[in-house]
Structure 1
Amino acid sequence: MYNRTAPYSSFQVAGTLYMNNYYLVDGIYPDRACFVKSLFCPNDHKRLKFKRAQEKVRKDVERAFGALEKRWHILKYPTPYLEEKKMSEAMYTCIILHNMILKDE
């Protein structure tokens, strides 16, 4: 986002159009408008439900990526000279191969 290479994204919530991406993160990230952290102490049912859903999704993504990193070296130590498109293709390739291996086992 800082060097203007983030992908363009827009979405609408309750009639309001948002033009920037946002990322679900945990407490170690700095305070930025694009980082949505889990609520520290939710004070009503809706906020508590959001906090639980956000933490569940983040945990699922971290586990899935951890499983892929164990199996595929390129994901654990990505090469800095690969462009974004090539890294995206490598990621999809690893996911497909991982799923094929699980199905075969």
Structure 2
Amino acid sequence: MKWSLFLSILYDIHQFNEYFIQTYDATGALELFGVQKMTVALRILQYSVPVDAVDKYIRIGETIAIVALNFFTKMIVAIYEGRALSTTYTINNHAYTMGYYLTDGIYPRWAMIVKTISQPQGLKRQLFARMHEACQKDVERSLEVLQVHFNIVRVLTRGWSDKDLYYIMKMCIIFHNMIIEDVRNIPENECSATLLQTDTTNTLCQMSCDPNQEYEEFMLNC
């Protein structure tokens, strides 16, 4: 991930939620800043490291790491999630307005599930089975790509609730698309990164106006 995309996301999160903005605690000491919280969330997602293993590297305790991950995934979904296009199609003279899932024969016979034909007879059925299996392969390849970039999708996730997994999976899909767009040199990321570097509207505490220097100092002191 480019540094400009990292700053762009951090800037957008700052506008949406104050959790990632550095503040003072009850004793007057500075709390953790957004770079630390976002870094720990990305390390857990990309490398699937245990939450208690990031304390030494990022200097964040286990409880705060879990909270930062939950906030991060929910913020990404809330800020960047788009809406699916309306779906309208006709099968056997019957109009449908909802999408469906392509599966194989092991799934139940539900209305939103379309299975392939195991032993197609005739040209029409053979064409349907071939196109169905081709589209299903594309979906499987997409999941493999996510597993490469986000190891948390690959490993066992017994420690996470269904709600957490919902946001984690959506966040991984959105984040993957954002990285692809950034590789294609989408200019909006550079704009948001510039805004974050020059933003001085935070009145909760006195923050560094140069996130690059702040990040370098943080990495050097780890």
TM-score where L is the length of structure 1: 0.65
The residue type paired with residue 93 of structure 1 is F
> Structure 2 CA distance, aligned partners of 1:19 and 1:100?
30
Structure with greater helix share of residues: 2
Give 1:82's aligned residue: 164
Q: Pick one of 90, 94, 99 that aligns with 1:21.
A: 99
Give 1:92's aligned residue: 174
Q: Note closer, same or farther for the CA distance 1:88–1:74 as it changes in structure 2 (3 Å cut).
A: same
Question: Aligned ranges for residues 36-75 of structure 1 at < 5 Å?
Answer: 36-75=114-153
> Structure 2 CA distance, aligned partners of 1:23 and 1:61?
10
Structure with higher RCO (Cα < 8 A, 6+ apart): 2
Q: Note closer, same or farther for the CA distance 1:83–1:22 as it changes in structure 2 (3 Å cut).
A: same
Give 2:211's aligned residue: none
The residue type paired with residue 82 of structure 1 is D
Cα RMSD after superposing both structures? 3.4
Q: Note closer, same or farther for the CA distance 1:60–1:12 as it changes in structure 2 (3 Å cut).
A: closer
Q: Note closer, same or farther for the CA distance 1:83–1:68 as it changes in structure 2 (3 Å cut).
A: closer
Q: Note closer, same or farther for the CA distance 1:73–1:101 as it changes in structure 2 (3 Å cut).
A: farther
Q: Which stretch of structure 1 is more off in the superposition, 19-28 or 49-58? A: 19-28
Give 2:111's aligned residue: 33
Stretches of structure 2 that go unaligned for 5 or more consecutive residues are 1-83, 185-222
User: Is residue 12 of structure 1 aligned with residue 12 of structure 2?
Assistant: no
Bigger Rg, which one: 2
Indicate conservation of the 8 Å contact 1:68/1:95, yes or no. no
Stretches of structure 1 that go unaligned for 5 or more consecutive residues are 1-6
Structure 1 residue ranges (4+ consecutive) displaced by more than 4 angstroms after TM superposition:
83-87, 100-103
Q: Which stretch of structure 1 is more off in the superposition, 51-60 or 84-93? A: 84-93
TM-score where L is the length of structure 2: 0.35
> Structure 1 CA distance, aligned partners of 2:87 and 2:182?
36
